């Protein structure tokens, strides 16, 4: 299979106006990926599937990523001349910038015909709140159906053109997206007889009795009705 940057160059040559970026993976896996812009993603996906050199006919996995808004502090060393004539002082200048958050869908593509892969493609939404639409790739790869429904359920990405976009795991009335970083799960830790610290801390907030309650003095209501 040709290298990922060759694929990108071919895509850029074929689809004028499309933006295809190479996202490198610095880890030991070095599994780099292509970031597609949502406007051209459907045509590019069809091309990847039908191109004779690639024939990526199988989407093995589709998943989501939540990128919350991130504040990045950059420190820069600046040397300031001392007005009294002494040696130049080196001070650190900090600049803050806010990287906007987004939601991302990742697809892992393989070719059954040519036995190569994976090629990883990504798409990002404009933001995390109101512009969360991405084109569905289910019309291209049928195996994306349930996985895109799962992404919709857990991350809240709305896939335009999906044949049956409903929640997959949670019930239809559910409003939240549990895999988002800012999800707050329901507080039903009323009674936890466990020494597990994380659980116990949440349970203690429900205890009406103070923590200094004597063991013998604790009233024991009957458990079974």
Partner 1 sequence: MSDAIDKPVPFPAAGNISDAEREELRRHGILMTSLEELYNWGRSNSIWPLQFGLACCAIEMIAAATARFDIARFGAEIFRPSPRQADLMIVSGTVTKKMAPQVVRLWNQMPEPKYCIAMGACAISGGPFKQGYNVLKGIDRFIPVDIYIPGCPPRPEALLNGLMELQKQIQGERLTGPDAARHTRPDMPSEFSVPSYGEHDLQPTKNAEVWKPATPLTRSGKG
Instruction: Kindly list the residues in this chain that would bind partner 1 in the complex (CB under 8 A).
Output: 169-176, 178, 183, 185-186, 188-194, 198-199, 203, 207, 209, 211-215, 218-225
Shortest distance, CB of residue 125 to partner 1, whole angstroms?
23
As given in the structure block, the two tokens for residue 79 are: 């040397």
Provide, rounded to whole angstroms, the least separation between the CB of residue 163 and partner 1: 23
Angle in degrees, CA 219, 224, 225, rounded to 5: 105
**Between residues 2 and 201, which has the closer beta carbon with respect to partner 1?**
201
Q: Are 112 and 57 in contact (CB under 8 A)?
A: yes
Least distance in Å: CB of 167 to partner 1?
10
Residue 26 or 225 with smaller CB distance to partner 1:
225
- Residue 205 Cβ vs partner 1, minimum distance, rounded to whole Å: 12
DSSP codes of every residue in 91-159: EEEEEEEEEPPEEEEEEEEEETTTTEEEEEEEEE-S-SSS--EEE--TTT-TTHHHHHHHHHHHT--EE
Beta carbon nearer to partner 1, 37 or 192: 192
Cβ proximity to partner 1, 86 vs 210, nearer residue: 210
């Amino acid at each position: 299979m040709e290298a990922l940057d060759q694929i990108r160059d071919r895509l850029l040559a074929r689809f004028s106006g499309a933006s295809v970026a190479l996202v490198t993976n610095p880890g030991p896996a070095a599994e780099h990926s292509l970031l597609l812009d949502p406007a051209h993603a459907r045509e590019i996906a069809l091309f990847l599937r039908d191109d004779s050199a690639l024939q990526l006919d199988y989407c093995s996995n589709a998943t989501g990523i939540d990128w919350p808004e991130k504040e990045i502090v950059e420190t820069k060393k600046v040397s300031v001349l001392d007005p009294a004539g002494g040696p130049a002082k080196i001070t650190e200048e900090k600049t803050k910038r806010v990287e906007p958050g987004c939601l991302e869908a990742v697809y892992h593509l393989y070719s059954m015909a040519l036995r190569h892969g994976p090629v990883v493609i990504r798409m990002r939404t404009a933001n995390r709140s109101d512009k969360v639409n991405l084109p569905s790739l289910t019309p291209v790869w049928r195996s994306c159906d349930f996985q895109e429904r799962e992404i919709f359920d857990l991350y809240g990405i709305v896939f335009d053109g999906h044949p049956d976009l409903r929640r997959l795991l949670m019930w239809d009335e559910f409003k939240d997206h549990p895999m988002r970083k800012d999800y707050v799960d329901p507080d039903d830790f009323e009674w936890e007889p466990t020494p597990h610290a994380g659980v116990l801390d949440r349970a203690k907030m429900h205890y009406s009795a103070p923590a200094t309650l004597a063991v013998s003095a604790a009233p024991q209501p009957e458990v079974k009705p």
